[in-house]
Amino acid sequence: MKKPFYKSWIFWVLVVVLGSIIGQIAARNEKADQAAPAATQEVQATAAPATDTPAADPAAGNPSVSWESAITQIAQSDTEPTQKADAVEVLAKAYSPSPEELMDFESQVVEEYNAGNYLAHTGDAGYMLTNLFKAVVVEGKHADGEPIKDFAFDFYQNTKYTYRGIEAVDSDSVKANEAQMDKALAEMK
């Protein structure tokens, strides 16, 4: 019999690492005028696309890439997909996006769905966890009854359960959620 995931030492190490990351994000939001550490700047240089805007500064409303590095660390960990998904959910629920970043997340999850890509890479932990993160952030930042909240919730469920291997991409549950996503998209137009 397999022991529950919360009794695994790996789970608790992951909880401590996530707590540390979340604490660092919160501290950075409070002390936005401080210079970023060299390691953060390296991540920003490799993860952020080249633009005319300065590097990430949450206080200035520019998107932060710290969530991307956290997801990369989670994706590369030796834990099970269920534990990785749970860790990303914790990270997403604690994340406060700028209004522009929230709009970007909304358009990105809709684009991934419309393009038919969102479940095409279930074996790619980084891709799936990034989509999961964005969906949880979008769903958490909107009021009940808003079509984008409903869309994000079903997107999240399909992403989470196919990544964890609980549902097949062509299962009845996935198709039912996609029908609800189509309905939400129609309401958004």
Poorest-confidence range of 50-64, 118-132, 152-166?
Answer: 50-64
| For residues 46-65, average pLDDT | 39
103-124 residue pLDDT tens: 999 999 999 999 999 999 999 9
Query: What is the chain's mean pLDDT, rounded?
Result: 80
Sequence-distant (6+) residues with CB within 8 A of 177 are 154, 155, 157, 158
CB-based contacts of 54, cutoff 8 Å, min separation 6: 60, 62
Band (24; pLDDT cuts 50, 70, 90):
confident
Looking at residue 171, what is its pLDDT?
A: 95
Q: Give me the number of domains the chain comprises.
A: 1
With tokens 């953060």, the residue in question is 40
Cβ-based neighbours of 181, under 8 Å, separated by 6 or more: 113, 151, 154, 155
What pLDDT is stored for residue 81 in this prediction? 94
| Residue 21, pLDDT above cutoff 50 | yes
Q: Tell me the residue range of the domain where 140 lies.
A: 5-188
Half-sphere exposure (CA, 13 Å, Cβ side) for 13?
A: 8
Q: Which residues of 5-20 are buried (b: 16+ CB within 10 A; e: fewer)?
A: eeeeeebeebeeebee
Q: Is 18 a residue whose pLDDT tops 50?
A: yes
Give the predicted TM-score (pTM) of the model.
0.66
